Amino acid sequence: MKQSIIDQFAHIVGEKYVKQSTSELLAYSYDATANFQRMPELVVSPADTAQISAIVKLCIQEKIAIIPRGSGSNLAAGTVPYNGGVVLLFNRMNRILDFDQDNLTITVQPGMITANICDYVEQHGLFYPPDPSSMKISTIGGNVSENSGGLRGLKYGVTKDYVRGLEAVLPNGEVITTGGKLAKDVAGYDLTSLLVGAEGTLGIITSITLKLIPLPRFKKTSIAYFSSLEHAAETVQEIIANKIIPVTLEFLDKKTIVAVEQFMHIGLSTDVEAMLLFEQDGDEVTVDKDIMTMTTIAKEKGATYTKIAEDEAQALQLKTARRVALSALSKLRPTLILEDATVPRSQLAEMVRRINIVADKYNVNIATFGHAGDGNLHPTCLTDVRDEQEMAQVEKALAEIFDGALQLGGTITGEHGVGEMKAPYLEWKLGEAGIAAMRAIKDALDPHHIMNPGKIFAKDTKKRVVVQFG
C-alpha cells in the first residue's frame, strides 16, 4: 500500500492506531480456522462511527478491501484477508453506551466481549442468554455478524433473537440505524435481520441494542452416561417429545469425554460411549420436576449412570467440561477442523450414525460433541495439515458429512457461518436461485465489493456427490 494512502488512514484514526510492519500484520493473517492464512496490508483501530465512515469512503476511493475483525475466533476463515486490504479492529469501541432497565435493553459497541455483557446485566438481575462457548473471548460484533448460538440456544434461541436494533456504516460510507429499543417495529424491510449473520459483507456494525430478560431464579444441572450413541440421541428426542425444553442439552462422544478428562481431571467416566449434559432454569418446582423427568427418561433409554449436580460449584464443573471440549481436543493432533453440520433434532441419532460411517470409510479421526437439543453437532477432525494424503481424506469426509446432513433436511452450518471455508458448499444448501438472490443483495449494497471480499460467495462450487448411507 502506498505510503500516501497509509498516511490518510493515520490521519483518520491517529498514527498510533495503524499497524503496518510485517510482524504486526502477521497476527491478523489468520483466525481460529485451520489451514487459512493470508496477510493484510494494514490494520487500523478506529475510535468511533465517524472514523469508520471516513475509512469506508477512503477504501471506496482507493479500491481497498475492508475486513472487519472482532476477536478472530470464527471458525470459517471469515476474517482471513482474501486479497490484501485493511483489517478493521474494534478494540477501541468496547463500551456500554446505554443500559435501560425500563425497556430491558442494553446498547453496546461492537468490540465488547460477550461474557462482559452477560456479567454486567446479571449484576442487575437481568439476563442476556446467547452464550457461545467462546463468549469469554469473542466480541458481540462478531456474535451478531455470525448470528452465533450457544449452550442455552435450545430454550432461549440464538443471537438474532436478542438484537433489537443496530447502527451500521454501509459499504457506501453512509450511517444507518435500524430498529431500536422497540419491542415492535415493522417500518419497511427488516434491515436488522439482514445485517445479523452477514459476516461483515454488507456493512460494519458500530452499535448494537440487545433485548434483555429477567434472570431466572433457579437452575439445576445433571449429566447422564450411555454405552451407545444411539441411546443418548434417543434420550434427546424423548425429552423434547415429553414437551420439556431444557436450557441446555449437550452431547459429548467418547473421544471428546476422554480428551476433556485428560485435559481437566474432573472425574468424568471414560469407559462410556456418550455423555449428555442437561440444564434447566426457571422456578424451583419446575426446575426440580424437569431435571427428575429428564433423568428418568435417560435411565429408561439405557443411561448407565446419571448424576444431578449438588451445588453451583459442581454444576459449573460439569458445564466447563462441555465448554472446554474444543480446547481439550486441540491438544491431541496438530490440526483441528471443527464442523457444525446441523439437522432437525428428530434426525440426531441418524446424523451421529452417518458421521461415524464417514469417519470409518475415510479412516479419519473424528470426535463429535455439540448442541444436541438443537440438532447442531460439531464433528471435529483431528488431523495434521502437513499430511497432504490425510487432508485429502478429511476433505472428502467433510463433504460427505455436509451431504449427509442436507439429505436429512439439515444445513452445512448451524452457527459458525460460511466465511471462505464453507463458501464452495453454499450452493448445495441454497441452490443457484438462492445464491443469485443473495448476490443481488450484495451487489446492490456493496457495488465496489470492498466489504470482506471472498466470503460467502465462492468462485468455484464443489461438485456434490449424493452418498448412499444404507
Ligand X SMILES: Cc1cc2nc3c(=O)[nH]c(=O)nc-3n(C[C@H](O)[C@H](O)[C@H](O)COP(=O)(O)OP(=O)(O)OC[C@H]3O[C@@H](n4cnc5c(N)ncnc54)[C@H](O)[C@@H]3O)c2cc1C
Contacting residues toward ligand X, per CB under 6 A: 31-32, 67-75, 78-79, 90, 110, 132-134, 138-139, 141-143, 145-146, 148-150, 199-200, 204-205, 326, 415-416, 452
Minimum CB distance to ligand X smaller for 40 or for 72: 72
Provide, rounded to whole angstroms, the least separation between the CB of residue 410 and ligand X: 16
Of 119 and 283, which has the nearer Cβ to ligand X?
119
AA letter at 141: G
- Least distance in Å: CB of 451 to ligand X? 8
What angle (nearest 5°) sits at the alpha carbon of residue 466, between those of residues 329 and 402?
A: 25
For ligand X, give the closer residue by CB, 134 or 411.
134
Nearer to ligand X by C-beta: 148 or 368? 148
Cβ nearer to ligand X, comparing 197 with 404: 197
Q: How far is the CB of 299 from ligand X (least distance, A)?
A: 28
Residue 182 and residue 105: Cα distance in Å, rounded?
A: 9
- Least Å distance between CB 420 and ligand X? 9
CB of 167 to ligand X, least distance (A): 10
With respect to ligand X, which residue has the nearer C-beta, 151 or 297? 151
| Beta carbon of residue 66, minimum distance to ligand X (angstroms, whole number) | 9
Angle 312-323/254-264 helices, nearest 10 degrees? 120
348-362 helix and 388-407 helix, angle to the nearest 10 degrees: 160
Question: Using CA atoms, how far apart are residues 108 and 356, in angstroms rounded to an integer?
Answer: 43
For the bound state, the minimum distance from the C-beta of residue 337 to ligand X, rounded and expressed in Å, comes to 12
**How far are the Cα atoms of 329, 355, 364, 401 from residue 463, in angstroms, in the given order?**
30, 20, 21, 14
The nearer residue to ligand X, 362 or 425, going by C-beta atoms, is: 425
Closer Cβ to ligand X, 56 or 355, answer by number: 56
In the complex, minimum distance from the CB of residue 164 to ligand X, in angstroms, rounded to a whole number = 16
Cβ-proximal residue to ligand X, closest one = 142
- Which of 350, 333, 462 is closest to 396 using CA atoms? 462
- Asked if residue 133 lies in contact with residue 326, where contact means CB atoms within 8 angstroms, the answer is yes
